[in-house]
Chain A
Amino acid sequence: MIRRYWLSAGLFGACAAVLLAVPGPRCAASTPGANPSALPPIRHVFLITLENKNYSDTFGADSEAPYMADTLKAEGALLTEYYGTGHNSLDNYIAMMSGQASTPQTSNDCNVFADFRQTGTAPDGQAVGQGCVYPAGVETLANQLMAAGLTWKGYMEDMGNDPARESATCGHPPLNAPDLTQEAEAPSAAVPGGDMYATRHDPFMYFHAIIDSPVCHQDVVNLRELKADLRSVATTPNFSFITPNLCDDGHDSPCANGQPGALTSVNVFLRQWIPVILSSPAYRKDGLIIINFDEGGNGKIVRSGNEIAVTVYGASCCGEQEGPNLGRKYPVVTIHTSHGHRVTETTLSFGGDRTGALLLSKYIRPGTVSNVPYNHYSLLKSIEEIFGIHEYLGYAGQKGLVPFGPDVFTHSR
């Protein structure tokens, strides 16, 4: 019988949704009674977010990441119905950390690091406006953790390799300037290791509530610091967000440093880092590793001469809402030219498609498989609940949203 660690739902806060008011609320909505069951006493969460893979590619029989698809899957819980919340990358990362839905700019990865101009607030704490970098009134999981006296860090591989591109801590482009980290930088005499850090895969950089604070330089650091931080429970943050570089997260193939990229490099990265985390005192004491993907890459490509028709499905789950800022009517059709071809892109909906996710913990029975639908908002709500935070951010507070539960945490210790 599964031992019940579950907390009382009566601890939920009283942060109600605020309609169309500026500045935005610090939180979105509480959902008293949504999760009457308790959670295991996890106090250290490691979230590793990878890039752009379909569930079938990642976890299928012929996966090019066998360490993840076979070895780790056998040791943890596979969430077969985990979905991204948007396309392209950035809006997914923002959803995970703040519950904010896409804007036209974040869904296009914010090639210009532009301030978000807020004009109001919609239900579920959604900031209404356009842009990328949210005002200080829009908070993140990191802010919630600090308010609760807990610790967090973002570990960003390659950040600061080229200091002209971004600083080694809290690295982002100048506000309202082009984002030169959109493309990976190959090695040069001045930057021998190259620089494959991408700001758009570092969600913390898109919130004034973080980048305007000195803690940003303490808590958003290069991945190389993780090993030292893992040496003891005391030095390991309660929440660690780990972003591999554009090669190791599978985004690129081939990569700027000559590595193969795609799932092959994902596999190498996980094989290097997962054992390091698994053997750390904090993980062994009360840890949870979550490996997810920002968005799926599923769709259809039809070529006919110089014409290319691309269909992006944009599937979603869990009652996901588009949010107040896209205002699109689906299907959305755009036409552009690429390498001499006329590309017609048809997007059927606003979701991020099915990716799957993998969780590891001593509170998970090896070989667990859950077919319960989850998305990035579910993830955010789950982490909030794990840390006893019951004022859910953005769409994590969506009515009826289900966090990870006993279908995931299947093992008692």
Chain B
Amino acid sequence: MRGRKGWFHSARMFSLILDRAFRASTLAKVRRLNDPEQQPMTRRALLLVGILISSGMLCAADRTVRSAPSGERSPLSPAAALGKKIFFDANLSASGRMACSTCHDPRYAYGPANGLAVQYGGPELKTPDYRAVPSLRYVLNYVPVWTHVQATNPIEQLTEANEVPAGGYTWDGRFNTLHAQAMFPLFSPVEMDNRSAEELAGKLSHASYAGEFRAVFGQEVFAHPAVAVNEATMAVQQFELEDRSFHPYSSKFDAWLDGKATLTREELRGKELFDDPNGGNCASCHLDEVGANGAHPLFTDFQFEALGVPRNNEIPWNRNPKYDDLGLCGPFRKDAASRDVSNCGLFRTPTLRNVAIRHVFFHNGEFHSLREALLFYVERDTKPGKWYPVGADGNAEKFNDVPARYRGNVDTTDAPLDRKPGDKPIWNEQEIDDVIAFLKTLTDGDMEDKESAAQTGPDASSAARPKR
């Protein structure tokens, strides 16, 4: 069993790197995490988050091997065991009814249990969030810090390199550590809505696990609320990194990779369609190759992409025509990356593991079935009138969730997004069935009963979709 000192030691290198890169400016960054007009986090809470993240007490990294589980369950470290209790504790929210697990439900691969485009939080659980909830399974250990690497040579920048921003936690990559990300929802007014470290530390000190908290982090820990909150988020982080339930590798696809299962002809056809660089081209972002050490793929490259997903008026904030969620360039991210207009409209590529049990797709939860999401990919450009509002002139307003001045950022060059109106979609209905069959092989063994609830059948097709 690894104690706190042990996991600090293992994380030392990572922490040093992150410290060097981010420590100096973290407080200022955290102050900008929210737009005060849209998300009125208290000044005190903002300052608290900043102090905690900038404290340098960063990640407790855990090296995990990306492969099928051996069946043995290694015990959690004391901090991780404590973090598990915090993760499931709804009493830590202002409403008393929202825990981390409320949105990141372990029964749904740490994704949302319902089909809401966004979840509702705050003191009465009536305040809408801004983006769809992603699954926490698989990726947390491997999310790289946010970077926008570029080739030095300006000619190579234009002719050779794939210079796409990558990394960072959440849809816009604004958190460089899981520790920082875990801090955010505890104080977000649209989520757990704590207003100060004192308030949250007070809740922790009265929790059923308060004695365990003191045993792990020191008897005097609650005398220093900021420290207590910091330790709490580090414990949550450690739970997420250590617990095997976040990376079970128990899907049929994993078994197939290990030679312990056979894919059907339909599933294999689906994989071919998924991989075809001139067809679906899905695997160019949702990587599905086995690693050099046999590691099973994560189905994401952590890079950013602008797909031009239609505006979703299910999100209450979107009823304000002046509100735009531009991902990497705001409104929540306000660092240098957000000031690069070429970043506007880009969101980080999610994993596709367990995608078949989801009810909401893409950053704004615009689509509610896997079939609809796939149809959007293949028909976005061939039948734009099906997906975007059509004006009086008969033209569809493509990419209508991105302001016109940024629509050039939307990917129109990579297959299958390079088609023209009237072209034949890259997949027909049968081929979409095949791809869905393949994607279902990515459902973990403990999630298979959730597939039937997810709308993947023809009834969810966008054929009956109301135009906006």
Measuring CB to CB, which residues of chain A are less than 8 angstroms from any residue of chain B?
A: 51-53, 88, 109, 163-167, 171-174, 177-178, 180, 182-194, 246, 250-258, 261-263, 297, 299, 301, 306, 308, 310, 312, 336-341, 343, 345
Which residues of the other chain, B, contact A257 by a CB distance below 8 angstroms?
A: 17
Contact for A52 among B63, B153, B167, B178, CB less than 8 A: B153
Per-residue CB contact flags for chain B residues 152-186 toward chain A (1 = under 8 Å, else 0) read 11111011101000110000000001100000000
Which residues of the other chain, B, contact A193 by a CB distance below 8 angstroms?
A: 13-14, 17
Is B408 on the interface with A (CB-CB < 8 A)? yes
Min CB–CB distance A196 → chain B (angstroms) = 9
Which residues of the other chain, B, contact A174 by a CB distance below 8 angstroms?
A: 289-290, 292
Most buried by B among A251, A255, A345: A251
CA distance A253 to B148 in the complex (A): 9
Binds A, one of B106-114, B136-144, B206-214, B259-267: B136-144
- Identify the closest chain B residue to A337 (Cβ): B413
Complex A-B, nearest 6 residue pairs according to Cβ-Cβ distance, in ascending order: A164-B291, A340-B408, A192-B14, A186-B144, A164-B295, A297-B153
Is B151 on the interface with A (CB-CB < 8 A)? yes
Most buried by A among B14, B158, B412: B158
Is B28 on the interface with A (CB-CB < 8 A)? no
CA distance A53 to B151 in the complex (A): 11
Contact for B158 among A167, A340, A343, CB less than 8 A: A343
The reply to whether B148 and A254 form a contact with Cβ atoms under 8 Å apart is yes
Which residues of the other chain, A, contact B151 by a CB distance below 8 angstroms?
A: 52, 251-253
Is B437 on the interface with A (CB-CB < 8 A)? no
Q: How large is the interface on B (under 10, 10 to 19, 20 to 34, 35 or more residues)?
A: 35 or more
Min CB–CB distance A267 → chain B (angstroms) = 13
Is B149 on the interface with A (CB-CB < 8 A)? yes
CA distance A180 to B153 in the complex (A): 21
Q: Given A164-B295, A189-B140, A192-B11, check contact A297 B290 (CB 8 Å).
A: no
Per-residue CB contact flags for chain B residues 217-250 toward chain A (1 = under 8 Å, else 0) read 0000000000000000000000001000000000
Which residues of the other chain, A, contact B241 by a CB distance below 8 angstroms?
A: 189
CA distance A253 to B154 in the complex (A): 10
The reply to whether A258 and B144 form a contact with Cβ atoms under 8 Å apart is no
CA distance A193 to B61 in the complex (A): 12
Contact for B61 among A165, A189, A343, CB less than 8 A: A189
5 sample A-B contacts, Cβ–Cβ < 8 Å, listed by A number: A178-B289, A189-B11, A256-B149, A338-B158, A341-B158
Contact for A186 among B145, B178, B295, CB less than 8 A: B145
Which residues of the other chain, B, contact A194 by a CB distance below 8 angstroms?
A: 17, 144
Min CB–CB distance B194 → chain A (angstroms) = 25
Most buried by A among B61, B140, B144, B160: B144
Which residues of the other chain, B, contact A166 by a CB distance below 8 angstroms?
A: 292
Is B66 on the interface with A (CB-CB < 8 A)? yes
The reply to whether A187 and B152 form a contact with Cβ atoms under 8 Å apart is no
Is B150 on the interface with A (CB-CB < 8 A)? yes
The reply to whether A187 and B292 form a contact with Cβ atoms under 8 Å apart is no
The reply to whether B150 and A192 form a contact with Cβ atoms under 8 Å apart is no
The reply to whether B152 and A250 form a contact with Cβ atoms under 8 Å apart is yes
The reply to whether B292 and A258 form a contact with Cβ atoms under 8 Å apart is no
